[in-house]
A and B are shown apart, each in its own frame.
Chain A
Amino acid sequence: MGKTLYVLSSGELKRKENTIIIEGLEGRKFIPVETTDEMLIFGEVDLNKRFLEFCTANKVMLHFFNHYGYYQGTFYPREHMNSGAVILAQAKHCLDDCRRLLIAKKFVTGAIENMKKALQYYSRRGNIELDSIIEKLTVFSNYAKEQIGISELMGIEGNARDCYYTAFDLITGGGSFSMKKRSRRPPQNRINALISFLNSMCYVTTLAQIYKTHIDPRIGFLHETNFRRFSLNLDIAEIFKPIIVDRLIFSLLNKKEIQAKHFGAQSGGGIFLSEKGRPIVLKAWEERLNSTIEHPRLKRNVSYRSLIRMEAYKIEKHILHDEEYQPFAMRW
């Protein structure tokens, strides 16, 4: 698997023979294209069509973020894992209400299961106030299993997440990172800004992993498919957000690696993670993705990043009637 490159500085992105070059104020940097899978671009960079063609040829995905670190879009190179059989099967599972609901429910219950795991970790360390939230999540999970429509299911998912977010202040101790309630577009306080930022990291990471499989990121099951944007990555990311994003947030805040000074206010209202805070969060995020756990079936260590790709494989197997999808559940 190739590397992920985070471009934080401004300058020019170029192709020089068969190498990627970043040219900026700090000089030239050469990046081998063979070992690069994706680039997350935060700085103001100039690039040309020749560079985009080079990225397509080498299957390098480019994700763009604006000044405030908000996701703007992805340069998604031409599909290279083409399987008509898989696309047809995926569309079929999406069009059939019954089959679609079955998969969508697994995303919701799997996500709730992992939210519980994230909270149980802190409950075991003496934060017993979390227990009532964990209980409520169990109720939501059971409730989700009984739903017969996607929109109702989405509603339950939203409620479960709201309930789960009430645990955040209990874990982080509030203070300058008090959440009160989840707010988006734009986030109203620091922790909401941090959640939004890392959630978008999770979405693009999942997208890049889906690209390596045969399934199509435009056809989602829980999130509505509208062909203007990717939706399957949002579905799969639900499973991993509690385990990767939220646990990372708790760790960053409890170790005080991220502080109030790392945030700024947007001119149009809202709070965002500043340019000073970004490298700290991104470094921790990359480390988290590359950390490994032992895979029970493969019997070897796999990184969280690979685990996301394997989740996409599981969906692929489900739609091919090979093996029923069971969402990844954190074991501790």
Chain B
Amino acid sequence: MTASFSESPRLGGTLVWYFTICKREVWLMARGVEPDRDDEFLALGRLIDKTTYNRDRHCIDFGNSKFDIMREEKGTLVVGEIKKSSRSIDAARLQLAHYLYELQKNGVEARGELLFPKEKKREEVLLSEELKTHLDQVYQEIIAITSLESPPCAKKCKYCRNCAYNELCWS
């Protein structure tokens, strides 16, 4: 397909998250090809999102991103990202760092917290210079992937088994 989109992709948290997991997902998601809604893992994720940390504020829209939780703690802003499991912790760290970076670009300094309610676990994420350079690189690569005419070929990886795109990729 010839690139008929003049608008560059919205660099939201999901794209950054997918980037660590699967490049093909990045392409599909950027084109609005969303994963299977019936997927049970997605349903579980939605449920966890709905039923945990109910006292904190949920779903705050900021630019192209959506923060799960936002609160103030001793004068600093804390952005929380809730995940089902820590299996893809690297992807989660990058996603949260991306949020912090976006906030910083808008003059807001914040601290990040990854939350794994099922595992009763949390991890702090701070935006370092190193992470920022890495993210700048990631943004470039995401734009390069999304401007490809066809999606990167499906390649089996450890995430395929529980992925909501698996019936699309391997049909």
Contacts and interface: CB of A to CB of B under 8 A. Distances in A.
Interface of A: 1-2, 59, 80-86, 88-89, 92, 212, 214, 295, 297-298, 306, 309-311, 313-314, 316-317, 320-323
22 contacts: A81-B34, A83-B33, A85-B5, A85-B31, A86-B31, A88-B1, A212-B37, A297-B171, A298-B167, A298-B171, A306-B167, A310-B167, A310-B171, A313-B171, A317-B171, A320-B1, A320-B31, A320-B33, A320-B150, A321-B1, A322-B150, A322-B153
Nearest to B151: A322
B168 A86 contact: no
B170 A298 contact: yes
B31 A317 contact: no
Given A214-B33, A313-B168, 17 more contacts: A2-B38, A81-B37, A83-B31, A83-B33, A84-B31, A85-B1, A85-B5, A86-B32, A86-B33, A88-B4, A297-B170, A297-B171, A313-B171, A317-B168, A321-B1, A322-B151, A322-B153
B166 interface: yes
Interface in B1-52: 1, 4-5, 31-34, 36-38
A109 B153 CA distance: 26
B141 interface: no
B123 interface: no
Contacts of B5: 85
Contacts of A298: 166-167, 170-171
B47 to A, nearest CB: 11
A183 B40 CA distance: 44
Contact of B168 (A80, A295, A316): A316
Contacts of B34: 81, 83, 214
B31 A80 contact: no
Interface residues of B, number: 20
A311 B171 contact: yes
A55 B30 CA distance: 29
B149 interface: yes
Nearest to A87: B32
A85 B28 CA distance: 10
B6 to A, nearest CB: 12
Contacts of A214: 32-34
A40 to B, nearest CB: 19
Contacts of A92: 1
Contacts of A84: 31-32
B151 A82 contact: no
B58 to A, nearest CB: 20
Nearest to A299: B170
A309 B36 CA distance: 11
A295 B168 CA distance: 13
Given A85-B1, A88-B4, A310-B167, A316 B37 contact: no
Contacts of B168: 313, 316-317
A84 B4 CA distance: 11
A16 to B, nearest CB: 22
Interface in B143-163: 149-151, 153-154
Nearest to A321: B150
Contacts of A321: 1, 149-150
Contacts of A59: 37
A295 B166 CA distance: 12
Contacts of B171: 297-298, 310-311, 313-314, 317
Contacts of B31: 83-86, 320
Contacts of B167: 298, 306, 309-310, 313
A69 B66 CA distance: 48
A311 B168 CA distance: 9
Contacts of B166: 298
